Amino acid sequence: MTEAPLTTPRTTDVRIAHTADLDTATLKAARTLLYDVFDDMTAEDWEHALGGLHALVHEDGELIGHASVVQRRLLQGGRALRCGYVEGVGVRADRRGRGHGAALMAALERVVHSAYDLGALGAADEAAAFYAARGWQLWRGRSWTLTPDGIRRTPDEDGCIYVLPTPSSPLDLDTDLTCDWRDGDVW
């Protein structure tokens, strides 16, 4: 009896680059990918993914996965926290289930743990289990935003916000959490 040779699973190479270091073609490919992945993607959603670090996965020279982390300020328990906010996480439909999303998130989680007080993201229902399995925790408290007109409640976001605490910033997940203002979806 002969044994089948052991094969090593192909590892996913993730490129990390700041928005300023990406050429026009790469940014266009990332935007096109996200518009294909998300039916409700808006111009504001794309803008939210810019200005920070992008994690990119290419296969055969074609972009198949994207995620980014941008700096935001969150207010919790009287503290202003420097947050690595994750945006634009998407893998092309025909390449899902192969570990690309996990590789993208691992790269961004390393950045969050090294450079921020916490990570945060707004998760769609179908992605919540993926983030929870990676150690992201559901924010159980109420959500708010600091608007130009003052602090406003964002009840539709309750139950959709996940955070990745860091050792330097323990969090009480049952308290209020307030995000900084931005156009489009604030969370």
Domains in the chain with CATH codes: 14-179 (3.40.630.30)
Note the pLDDT of residue 14.
Answer: 97
Q: Is the pLDDT of residue 139 over 70?
A: yes
pLDDT tens-digit readout, 35-74? 999 999 999 999 999 999 999 999 999 999 999 999 999 9
Alpha carbon dihedral 151, 43, 135, 160, in 10-degree steps, equals 50
Task: Assign 110 to helix, strand or coil.
Answer: helix
Note the pLDDT of residue 147.
Answer: 97
Helix (H) or strand (E) holding 118, with range, is strand 118-122
* pTM as predicted: 0.92
Sign of the C-alpha dihedral computed for residues 127, 46, 41 and 92 taken in this order: negative
